[in-house]
């Protein structure tokens, strides 16, 4: 595990589960609709997330559109790459793209950059 500086946020000791946190920005005028859409995430998308190793996945949304995502995985990069193989994810990302600020190229999946964990208490 990296001990100083800012790494990718995904460094870990062999066998450890990765705790991933990322930030995205939902357009303020779309916050309520975004919240409503996530009250009914498609079952096939939920199954794809499970099959590709996403565990304990949560999204937290502030009124101003700041979105905080948290999940645990054995290998976050591998989980993200595997999700790109699912048509349900491609459809979901296409529908969700207009909700976000700052997505020049790609989907929200491409902008989930892990934050560096600086403290953890079991």
Q: Would you say residue 13 has pLDDT above 70?
A: no
Query: Which residues are tagged catalytic?
Result: 38
Structure tokens at 118: 């600086």
12 closest CA partner among 55, 58, 76: 76
43 DSSP assignment = H
Confidence of residue 122 (pLDDT cuts 50, 70, 90): confident
- CATH 3.20.20.70 assigned to 18-111: no
Question: Which pLDDT score is estimated for 110?
Answer: 82
| CA gap 122, 43 in Å, rounded | 31
Mean pLDDT, the chain, rounded, equals 88
- State CA 83 to chain mean position distance: 11
pTM for this entry: 0.84
The predicted-structure confidence for 58-86, as pLDDT tens digits, reads as follows 999 999 999 999 999 999 999 999 999 99
* Contact between 108 and 93 (Cβ < 8 Å): yes
Q: Would you say residue 39 has pLDDT above 90?
A: yes
Domain boundaries, the chain: 18-111
Mean pLDDT for the stretch of residues 18-23: 96
């Amino acid at each position: 595990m990296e001990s100083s500086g800012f790494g990718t946020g995904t460094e870990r000791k062999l066998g450890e589960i990765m705790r991933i946190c990322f930030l995205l920005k939902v357009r303020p005028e779309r916050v309520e609709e975004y919240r409503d859409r996530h009250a009914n995430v498609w079952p096939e998308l939920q199954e794809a997330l499970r099959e590709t190793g996403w565990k304990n996945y949560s999204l937290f949304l502030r009124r101003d559109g700041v979105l905080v995502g948290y999940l645990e995985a054995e290998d976050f990069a591998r989980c993200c790459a595997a999700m790109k193989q699912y048509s349900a994810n491609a459809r979901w990302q296409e529908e969700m793209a207009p909700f976000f600020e700052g997505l020049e190229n790609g989907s929200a999946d491409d902008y989930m950059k892990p934050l560096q964990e600086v403290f953890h208490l079991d």
